[in-house]
Structure formats: C-alpha cells, structure tokens
Structure 1
C-alpha cells in the first residue's frame, strides 16, 4: 500500500495512491465506506498495524467500487505533506556507504554513526526549501528512510525488519559549513525543511528487500547520485537492531539510513558548487517514488 499525506484547509489529511487516483480517506469514511474505526491519519495507520491497514484497504476498495469521483483526487492537484507527520524520533546514520565515506575522506565506520534531526526539518514533496541565511554550503543527500511500525527494544537482527511498517524517500539536506563547524553535526542537519520526506510511505510488503533498491539524485536535470542500497555498510536489519539495543523505537519513528557517493562535499574544493536560489533537486528511491523540491533564498 502507498500512503500519502496531503494538505487540506491547512491540516494533514490521509490519502492512498491507487491506479485510479488518490483516495481521500476522510471523505470516504464520511461517505460511509469502510469499517468503523478506519484510521484517517497516517500516524494511526502506522501504530494500528495490520488491522488498520486491512480496514484502510477495505475503505479504499469500497470507495473505488462506488465510482464516486469526488472521493478520488488527481495527484497533480494535491499539496503533499511529509509522508510521516509526527515521528517521536528522527534518527540518522552517517557515512553508511563506503564510497561516500571515501569521497569525503572519512574513516570507514566500524559501528553505525548516529545523529538526530527534529520535526522542524519535515516537509513534503513539491515544497520550497529555504536556504538558510547563515549557510553558503547547502548540499543534497538522497536516502532510504525506514519507518518503524512496532515498538522495538533489544530486537535481534533476524527479527528487526518485522518491526518495520514501511519505507520512504528522503533528502537529508545538509548545510556543510554549519555541519562541520564542530564535531557535532546537528546544526547543519536541522535547519527548517531540511528533511523533505515522501511523496509516499510504502508498506514493507510492497518493497521487499530494502537492501536492493536503486537511489538517484537529480539537480537541475543533471544526475549527481546513482547507487544501490546494497552498498550500505550497515544494512537495514542491522541498523534497526543496533539502535534498539540503546533506545526504544516507537511506531512512527523514522531512520534515515545514509547517502551514497556523489554529494557536493565529495567534489574537489575548486569544483564544489553548492545549492543556490532556484535549484530543483529530485531524490528517488526505487519503488518509493521521487521527491522534488526547489531551493530558495530564505526570506
């Protein structure tokens, strides 16, 4: 199932992408479709597990069968929100692709490098991203995002992915001059709208093996990154298990799993042209969709 969030009257609303269009779940429920208690918020779907997904699927099927066109939205006309709206934690894994570590002249990590971002960084596909006044070195990073579906503490690597609800595409936008100002990366990673997430949250059953997905990043029509999640140093099951040894992962928590080679920081210094006003960046992960954003000078 492909879930998405769209903005209606300034509020987040839940949609499901189908071949016929995007089913407006709240509208379908208001029209009497689906079982009682069908979730109309993406966070409730995530925390509700398989029973919530089953109720949502029944609602979608009935809405489509009804042929009520007012329940089916044209995706090109909606304003997207982040595919996960209220994660309690945003955890990131740094330097998780060998060639990326090499291009930035960093040591290959022997354990996952973790840092965090905050909810102020979340935005959706199609939104403008402000270039902070305090930075001149804003960079892109295409990444696979893990979305937790079950509480996880001390889970084994073998059992880790059974706790995952699904996956999404994210651009882990990074202000390099702020990030590298100190040994702590947080400042350069947590500026407003620095985590455009989406457009979809795709359930794990539709994705299959998360460690065999192509990733690309396109800047103004030019391909900058092209790799595969199989090149991760620490794979998804290992990441979830490792984090769960140290903190409880809750449904809706998101984990950004690192970026492959091709970032601006990896270029020779005299060839680094950081993102500027008007640049269009598209990040895409196979099966998960493409997230496109325009970068603009901060007002």
Structure 2
C-alpha cells in the first residue's frame, strides 16, 4: 500500500500528543506536580489539528504579521487502518505560536491556517520493524536544528495507540502523532524547514508572510 508517488493527506481527524518524549516530560515534571494538577497525567494528553491547518509537502505556510516566530514541532503521525491497527506512518511539521502552557494548549496558538505540514508520502507500516527505530532531523535553511530519537518515547507507538483506545475510538484514516520533543526550534518568515528521517521522503515547507 505504498503511496510514494501521491501526496498523502489525511482522510480523518489528526490528533497531536503532548508529553510523549521523555525530555519534554522531564522538563515539565515540576509544573505537573504543582497546583492545580499536583501529579503527572495518567492518560495520553491529546489535541486536535483541525483540517484548516493542513498544508501539503512543498507548500508555503503563511505566518500572521503579529507572530514574530513559530515553533517547529517535528513528529511522525500514525495513520489508523480499517482494523484499528497502524496502516502507515507519515512525517509532520506541527507548527504553533510559542506559548507558556502545554497542559491545555489553546486552539488559537496551534490551529492557525496551514500550521501542520504533512509529509509527501505514507510509509506502509509493514515496512517498519519497530517505530522506536525512527530518527528524525529538523533543518532550517539547511542548518541542523534538532534531532529526535523515537526510542525515548514515554509511550511507544503501539502502547500510545492502545492507551488512547481506552478512552476514545479512533476511526479508519485518523492520524495520531507520536509527539514532539523538547527544545523545539523557532522559525521565521522566509525560512525553509526540512524534516527528514531514514525511510521517509523529506517534508519541506517554507514560511511566508500572511498576504504574501
């Protein structure tokens, strides 16, 4: 079921996952233990990237004039199959306006038009021996800014899928992102963002000023 010659776009709902990289979880652990929460979350923390945010590979993404920089949230999305298992994987660029709270991410910061770059092609799950082997690099204007090791997930791919299934039903075509690590790089208007990982086609998006 390889889709390497056709731009992949979701057919269902896209969900992001917070606090699923160990470095991000550890960095926010002191805040999780403070009021009002007083303890880390016991279930996965999700948010929705609504359809207005979806941008295909090689698309220009418009940044509002009052946003000086955006955070690049490199991730890999799991696409849910008809049997409820994983159909495939796709790289994603989960952009957001920098904000202080990661516990209840405001829609206005994460769901701006075009703020989710979606990889050019779906990688069939049957090609993947273990998603923990994924390694991802983020380059801005050709300069390496971040590396992600998916062996450091709090909940590995299949565990995340199972744990989410305990409290909600995912449909065929839904996409569940594995998460974004800490230290997300900032990008600005004019920047070219490349998100690459062995076995995947590179996702490229360029930031432009709104109205450009």
Q: TM-score, normalised by structure 2?
A: 0.86
5+ residue gaps in structure 2?
33-39
Of Structure 1 and Structure 2, the greater helix share is in: 1
What's the CA shift string for 1:173-196, capped at 9, x where partnerless?
Answer: 11114x749943322111111111
Out of 205, 208, 211, the position equivalent to 1:296 is: 208
Listed as ranges, the matches of 1:97-246 within 5 Å are 97-103=21-27, 107=32, 110-152=42-84, 163-177=85-99, 180=101, 183-246=104-167
In structure 2, relative to structure 1, the CA distance for the partners of 1:109 and 1:247 (3 Å cut) is closer
Counterpart of 1:268 in structure 2 is: none
What's the CA shift string for 1:82-106, capped at 9, x where partnerless?
Answer: x12422x111111211113345675
Q: SS state of the match for residue 176, structure 1?
A: coil
In structure 2, relative to structure 1, the CA distance for the partners of 1:120 and 1:293 (3 Å cut) is same
- Structure 1, 102-111 or 226-235: larger mean CA deviation: 102-111
Counterpart of 2:190 in structure 1 is: 278
Preserved contact between residue 142 and residue 284 of structure 1 (Cα < 8 Å) = no
Distance 1:104 1:224 in 2: 21
Counterpart of 1:84 in structure 2 is: 9
Larger Rg: 1
Distance 2:128 2:103 in 1: 37
Aligned residues: 203
Residue 257 of structure 1, CA deviation: 1.2
Counterpart of 1:94 in structure 2 is: 18
Q: TM-score, normalised by structure 1?
A: 0.62
5+ residue gaps in structure 1?
5-14, 17-80, 153-162, 265-273
Q: SS state of the match for residue 114, structure 1?
A: strand
Residue 286 of structure 1, CA deviation: 2.6
Q: SS state of the match for residue 289, structure 1?
A: coil
Preserved contact between residue 18 and residue 102 of structure 2 (Cα < 8 Å) = no
Q: SS state of the match for residue 175, structure 1?
A: coil
Tell me, yes or no, if structure 1 residue 258 matches structure 2 residue 179.
yes
Residue 243 of structure 1, CA deviation: 1.4
Tell me, yes or no, if structure 1 residue 287 matches structure 2 residue 199.
yes
Residue 119 of structure 1, CA deviation: 0.9
Instruction: Give me the CA root mean square deviation.
Output: 2.3
